Amino acid sequence: MNTVTYILNFAIMIYSLSICLYYVFLGLVSAFHLIAYKKSNSFVDHNLLLSSPMAPGISIIAPAYNESKTIVDNINALLSLHYGIFEVIVVNDGSKDDSLEKVIKEYELEKVDFAVNYQLKTKEIRSVYRSTNKAYRFLTLIDKENGGKADSLNAGLNISQYDYFVAIDVDSVIEPDALLKMIKPFLESTDKKVIATGGAIYIANSCKIENGQIIDIEVPRNMLARFQVLEYTRAFLMGRIAWSRLNGLLLVSGALGLFDKNVAINCGGYYSQTVGEDMELVVRMRRYMYDRKEKHSVRYIPDPLCWTEVPTTLRMLGRQRNRWTRGTMDTLWIHRKLFFNPKYGRLGMVGYPFWFFFEWLAPIIEFSGFCYLIVLILLGSINCYFFLFLLAFAYLFSVAFSFYSILYEEFTYHKYRRVEQIYRLFFTSLIEPISYHFLNVWWALTGNISFLKGEKTWGAMDRKGFNSKE
Amino acid sequence: MLSHKYMVISVYIALLSCVLTIVFFFRNNLEIIFTTGKFPLITNLKFNLNEFIHAFNQDNTPHQVFLRYFIALVSLFIIICFISINVLFILLILRRLIKFDKEKKDALKIEHIQKLIIQYLYSDKSAYAIDQLRRQQKQIVVDQLLALYVSIVGNKARMVRELFFSLKLDEYVYMRCNNYYWHVRVKYMDIASIMKIERVKNIAQRYMHSSNSLMRTCAIKAYLNLDSEHSFDYLHRFKKYITEWNQINLYNLIVKQSLSVPSFYQFLSSDNPTVVCFALKMIQLHIQTERRREVLQLLLHKDTAVRKEVVITIKVLYIKEAVPLLMANYKTESELVQFEIIRTLAKLDTEESTLFLINLLNVDDFKFRMEIIKNISLTYRKRILTEFESNKEIVAIVKHVSDKRIMF
């Protein structure tokens, strides 16, 4: 019995220490990358692309399902993005509300005989609409049977005309210069082809938004949303930036990502049988490039390019996290061949194993740890001082890590300008490890159970809409 | 730039706090570590947790020794985390205060400098203004003069430039162009380029082949601006990759600064495919037709990107002689170049090219059919409709491309 306990203790200890070191390592890599990025980008004039005849065209694909409340404002914001050559493709994924009618009326759309190239299989496209008004000549509306986000994106890809495409959530607010910043890494690529770029995503809850633009930035009043501010800041400014630097990124967020269309189509487009289509596509695109022995990279831009509304109730947040976990598991399972496979370079030897051990496995081990702790307490085999000592470490490490992410935000984009906003974030960092974190572990665990049960649904997400009082 | 310094400082502070903690932790044991190469037992450490860990010091079994080291390590982490949290909190608040104060002071300075510049430009107290401006912080004066210079034209712009030189700011900029840090060099080389400080040309030349892409682009831009005689000569010996972003920058510079455009045909023989691509793009954009037949020799270039640009150039320069070559090369080309060949053949619009394209419609591939019908001249669409009336896909594509709501 003692030997078993000893081995278990030892394994958990090694795992915990490695996870801490992993986060410290990512934090350091991000810090140096952010400094270099900020330095170099302060001299870059992205507006050059606006007037350049050499700028490539971009297709923006925005799937929409029951977005009637905000769809017109959001399309207006997309049409006014700062970029020279682009088209906006809105895909109505069989909405049950009046989204379709609203868009048709607002933009003077008519059914057209659009010859669709069905290079990616999708649910039936009922009709394609184009405007009679030349002011909206960049807009195309697809009306199709409901098939989910991945299916809608594939339908959009089938009718898109440019070499690059942006996949976005139609309910997100995109910064006006987002396309200019996201296309730059593609134009800078040398012998290593850039196949996808993503940008940092900020939380728009409690922010003031007018005509699809952020007017005033505020830390969310709702505590759950505020916890997510910290979570997103850590994930984007410390995690993904570092992985981008190490060329081991497995994920470009579904809210905003720019992709090389040819690579995406050649590897089969979005996989509609998963709820984690964003991660799955990136992994598949990378796998495709490795199989063809082509040097490539996936880049992340630290600039805040997209603002999104996050769930503010336990029920909604729980559903979202459950879905994220299922998506991760799906991708890890589909691409299990990558696991420590040297053929897939950093993706197989570093990116995938890290994601497996520290993203997917972490909540499971943590939950098992809690259960183990309860057993030890019941058996009276716990050293109280030792327990408190380790607990203090876990708590302080977690707070310090959040503080560092606030520091990174402060020194880079400085979006939260008022001192009281920083105080609020500090306070949230202090209570997050002893409250929100446990919920996250629980949702991740239930996500695993749902995956094993074979659940494939997205679950309804009620959006409160921007500018609503939480 | 200030924020970068703070960020670096914060990282240094964090690292320093770690080092100090380690030193504090092992202060009595460093000698033992360095002389014997062994770590002393945790019982030797002067640390408050000694009492707590006493329980683990009853024996020296491997398990207990391991635990003692583990506790020492975790204690170290706890201290580092604790110090980090406090330092970060203080640092962030201090930064806010300092930044606020600095912004206020800078705003006052800028306001004062702007007043002096206006005095110099519009009143008879110009000597006094110059004298006062000499006493101001050079960096701010440079920034303000530059901002004004790029936003005005004519006599006043000339006066601003004169003021810049009379304040000997060109020497300051020259000195900064030689700075150790690349980001400082980039900033001031840009200023030198706009203010036409010719002696910076030599520094720019030095960095034109730098491994830092941004530094390289900036140096090239400065050099092109400052040496109009030999502006593009560097391309003959250029070995680095000219990315699309670099090309966009260079083209923008040519257009904005109205640089004299050389004949880009001279670079078509370069060993560097990116130089050839850039030259071909410039030939297209400036419609340089004088030696257009030379372009055809590159149709068999080993680099796909070059071949693609050659085909586009043939289209832009309307080189009808290329039709047989394009048709002959079509089958062996990559898909990327094939699309360009289709567009070019459609644009050249000869009898044989059109027939070739109509024949290609028999290949069952939507993308190619769409590309052919989209680009082929309107007069042939009816002919396609009659020839392929039983082919639903082709009929649909013809309808698609004929709809003005779709093909704006």
CA B268 – CA B246 distance, rounded (Å): 18
For B66, nearest residue in chain A (alpha carbons): A10
Instruction: Give how many domains chain B has, as a whole number.
Output: 1
Q: Would the CB atoms of B408 and A137 count as touching at under 8 Å?
A: yes
Predicted confidence at residue A425, as pLDDT, reads 93
CB A165 within 8 A of CB A258: yes
Among A254-258, A290-294, B48-52, B316-320, the minimum mean pLDDT is found in B48-52
Could you tell me whether strands A193-203 and A296-308 are parallel, antiparallel, or unpaired per DSSP bridges?
Answer: parallel
Task: Give the number of other CB atoms < 10 A from CB of residue B111.
Answer: 10
Look-up of token digits 């992709």:
A259
Within chain B, how many helices (H) and strands (E) appear?
A: 20, 0
| Cα–Cα distance, A214 to A203 (Å, whole number) | 11
Q: Residue B46 above 90 pLDDT? A: no
Residues A358/A1, Cβ–Cβ less than 8 Å: no
Q: List the single best residue of A403, A422, A431 to mutate versus B (max B Cβ within 10 A).
A: A403
Q: What is the pLDDT of residue A143?
A: 96
Tokens of A324: 């994220």
Q: Which of residues 413 through 442 in chain A touch B, CB cutoff 8 A?
A: 414, 419, 422, 426
- Using a CB-CB cut-off of 8 Å, the residues of chain A touching B367 are 117, 119
Q: Test A400 with B11 for CB contact under 8 angstroms.
A: no
Do residues A101 and A66 lie in contact, with contact meaning Cβ atoms separated by under 8 Å?
no
What residues contact A106, with CB distance under 8 A and at least 6 apart? A72, A75
Closest C-alpha among B205, B141, B150 to residue B173: B141
Structural contact between residues A396 and B81, judged by C-beta atoms closer than 8 angstroms: yes
Residue A247 has pLDDT above 80, yes or no: yes
Rounded to an integer, the average pLDDT of A402-416 is 88
- Which residues of chain B neighbour A385 with C-beta distances below 8 Å? 52
User: pLDDT band for position A1 (50/70/90)?
Assistant: low
β-bridge mates for residue A193, sequence order: A296
Q: Is residue B87 part of a domain?
A: yes
Q: Which of residues 294-353 of A touch B (CB under 8 A)?
A: none
Q: Which pLDDT belongs to residue B28?
A: 55
Would you say A413 and B102 are in contact if contact means Cβ atoms under 8 Å apart?
Answer: no
In degrees, rounded to 5, the angle at the alpha carbon of residue B243 between the alpha carbons of residues B239 and B248 is 120
Q: What is the mean pLDDT of residues B25-54?
A: 51
For residue A130, the chain B residues in CB contact (below 8 A) are 403, 405-406
Strand A86-93, strand A58-64: pairing: parallel
Q: What is the pLDDT of residues B360-399, one digit of tens each?
A: 999 889 999 999 999 998 888 888 888 888 899 999 999 9
Report the residue of A12, A24, A30, A43 to disrupt the B interface, i.e. the one with the largest count of B CBs within 10 Å.
A43
Of B88, B244, B252, the CB nearest to A407: B88
| Token output for B34 | 């360095």
Q: Which domain holds residue B110?
A: 1-123
Q: Please state the rounded mean pLDDT for residues A211-215.
A: 82
Model confidence pLDDT, tens digit, residues A121-180: 999 999 999 999 989 999 999 999 999 999 999 999 999 999 999 999 887 889 999 999
Of A42, A184, A390, the CB nearest to B245: A184
In a domain, B44, yes or no: yes
pLDDT-derived band at B14 (thresholds 50, 70, 90) equals low
In this predicted structure, what is the pLDDT of residue B2? 45
Could you report the predicted ipTM of this complex, rounded to two decimals? Answer: 0.88
Contacts of B89 in chain A (CB under 8 A): 403, 426
How far from chain centre, in Å, is Cα B396? 43
pLDDT of amino acid A185? 94
Confidence tier at A463 by pLDDT (50, 70, 90): low
Question: Distance from A333 to chain B by nearest Cα, in Å?
Answer: 34
Q: Averaged over A328-348, what is the pLDDT?
A: 94
Cα–Cα nearest to A118, from A138, A146, A142, A148? A142
- B4 to A38: CB separation less than 8 angstroms, yes or no: yes
Enclosing H/E stretch for A127: strand A125-131
> For residue B84, which residues of chain A lie inside 8 Å, CB to CB?
400, 403-404
Parallel, antiparallel, or unpaired for β A208-210 and A213-216?
antiparallel
Per-residue model confidence as pLDDT tens digits over B190-222: 999 889 898 898 899 889 888 888 898 889 888
pLDDT for A242 equals 93
Of chain B, the percentage scoring pLDDT greater than 90 comes to 42
Note the pLDDT of residue B42. Answer: 41
Is residue B132 included in any domain, yes or no? no
Residue A188 and residue B244: Cβ atoms within 8 Å? yes
Three-state secondary structure call for residue B27 = coil
Among partner residues B10, B74, B367, which is closest to A389 by beta-carbon distance? B74
Q: How does the average pLDDT of chain B come out, rounded? A: 84
Q: pLDDT of A35-57, one tens digit each? A: 888 888 888 889 889 988 899 99
Token pair recorded at residue B396: 């649909």
Answer yes or no: do B91 and A112 touch at CB < 8 A.
no
| Contact yes or no for B350/B358 (Cβ under 8 A) | no
Q: Is A39 on the interface with B (CB under 8 A)?
A: yes
CB A141 within 8 A of CB A103: yes
B67 is a domain residue: yes
**What count of other Cβ atoms lies within 10 Å of the Cβ of residue A168?**
25
pLDDT at residue B27, as a whole number: 57
What are B115-150's pLDDT values in tens digits? 999 998 888 777 888 888 998 889 999 999 999 998
Which residues, including other chains, have CB under 8 Å from residue B261's CB and lie 6 or more apart?
B254, B282, B286, B288
Coil vs helix vs strand at A119: coil
A132 touches chain B (CB under 8 A): yes
Of A35, A52, A399, Cβ closest to residue B85: A399
Are B214 and A42 an interchain contact pair (Cβ–Cβ within 8 Å)? no
Query: What is the per-residue pLDDT for A287?
Result: 96
Residues of chain A with C-beta less than 8 angstroms from the C-beta of B256: none
A2 in reach of chain B (CB within 8 A):
no
Q: Is B175 left (phi over 0), alpha (psi -120 to 50) or beta?
A: alpha
Is the confidence at residue B293, as pLDDT, over 90?
Answer: no
| B241: phi then psi, degrees, rounded to nearest 5 | -80, 125
In B, which residues are within 8 Å of A411 by CB distance? 3-4, 6-7, 10
pLDDT at residue A383, rounded to an integer? 78
Please state, in angstroms and as integers, the Cα–Cα distance from residue B45 to each residue in B38, B42, B71, B75, B203, following that order. Answer: 14, 5, 12, 12, 57
Confidence at residue B44, expressed as pLDDT on a 0 to 100 scale: 43
Alpha-carbon distance of A231 to B88, in angstroms, equals 18
Residues of B in contact with A51 (CB under 8 A): 252
A425-436: per-residue pLDDT in tens?
999 999 999 999
DSSP one-letter string for A252-269 = --TTEEEEEHHHHHHTTS
CB atoms A407 and B70 under 8 Å:
no
Please check whether residue A388 touches B, CB under 8 A: no
Is the residue at B277 inside a domain? no
Mean pLDDT within A83-89: 94
Which position has the token pair 């487009």? A269
For the segment A407-412, the average pLDDT, to the nearest whole number, is: 88
Helix (H, G, I), strand (E, B) or coil at A200: strand
What single letter denotes the amino acid at residue B309? E
pLDDT tens profile B93-120: 888 888 888 889 999 999 999 999 999 8
Question: Read out DSSP for A365-413?
Answer: HHHHHHHHHHHHHHHT---HHHHHHHHHHHHHHHHHHHHHHHHHHHHHT
Contact residues, chain A, for B403 at CB < 8 Å: 112-113, 130
Which chain A residues are Cβ-neighbours of B251 within 8 angstroms?
A: 52-54
Closest by CA to A142, choosing from A153, A132, A78, A134, is A153
Residues A200, A415: contact at Cβ < 8 Å?
no
Q: Convert the pLDDT of each residue in B23-36 to its tens digit.
A: 655 555 555 555 65
Which chain B residues are Cβ-neighbours of A406 within 8 angstroms? 88, 92
CA gap A76, B334 in Å, rounded: 39
Distance CA B107, CA A117 (A): 58
Spatial distance between the Cα atoms of A335 and A280, rounded to a whole number of angstroms: 9
- Interface probe, candidates B213, B241, B245, B272, chain A, greatest A C-beta count within 10 A: B245
Which residues, 6 or more positions from A62, have their beta carbon under 8 angstroms from its beta carbon? A74, A75, A78, A88, A89, A90, A91, A156, A168, A169, A170
Q: B-chain residues within 8 Å CB-CB of A31?
A: 7, 11
Tokens of B309: 């640009």
